[in-house]
Amino acid sequence: MSERYALSVRVSRPPPRPTLLYDATCEFCTYWARRWAQNIGASLALEALQHREGRYLELSQQELENAVHLVDSQGRVWRGAAAVFRAAALRRRYAIFWWGYRRVPGARWLSEWIYAWVANHRMTVSRLTRWMRRDRPDDSDAC
């Protein structure tokens, strides 16, 4: 069922467990990737796209920089909101989000729209996240 929402491209050298590829040069991306991994647990690996070292060559650098990608152990790839919700489904308690993304009318469109908006406004959202966390005294913008 989740095959329908995966990208048409598959990677030839899939990871041993689902792996979330994220942009480590982006403070916002790094914070949220680590938070997702912490909440989902050992079933999800993180990999900075800057350290992929010849893996996932089927995915363009620009695509990887524009959105988070999830690669599963069968080589299937999801991007953007689909990647986030598919990763969440690795932990049973969060599977409802993946179900909603696939089943609730308009949820997929709205989720991808929100994801794209956040991705295009990473600096602003990063500042907002930092302000809400209040644990980062610096005002540097890494995105």
pTM reported for the whole predicted model: 0.84
| Cα 57 from Cα 13, distance rounded (Å) | 9
CB–CB of 34/46 below 8 Å?
yes
Q: What is the pLDDT of residues 28-42, one digit of tens each?
A: 888 889 998 998 989
Angle (nearest 5°) at CA 76 between 71 and 32: 30
In a domain, 13, yes or no: yes
Q: What is the pLDDT of residues 107-133, one digit of tens each?
A: 999 999 999 999 998 888 888 877 877
In a domain, 141, yes or no: no
In a domain, 124, yes or no: yes
In a domain, 139, yes or no: no
In a domain, 142, yes or no: no
Q: What is the pLDDT of residues 58-110, one digit of tens each?
A: 998 899 999 999 999 999 999 999 999 999 999 999 999 999 999 999 999 99
Q: What is the pLDDT of residue 1?
A: 44
Greatest distance between any 2 Cα atoms in the chain: 45
Q: What is the pLDDT of residues 13-30, one digit of tens each?
A: 999 999 999 999 888 888
Domain count, the chain: 1
Strands 77-79 and 19-22: unpaired
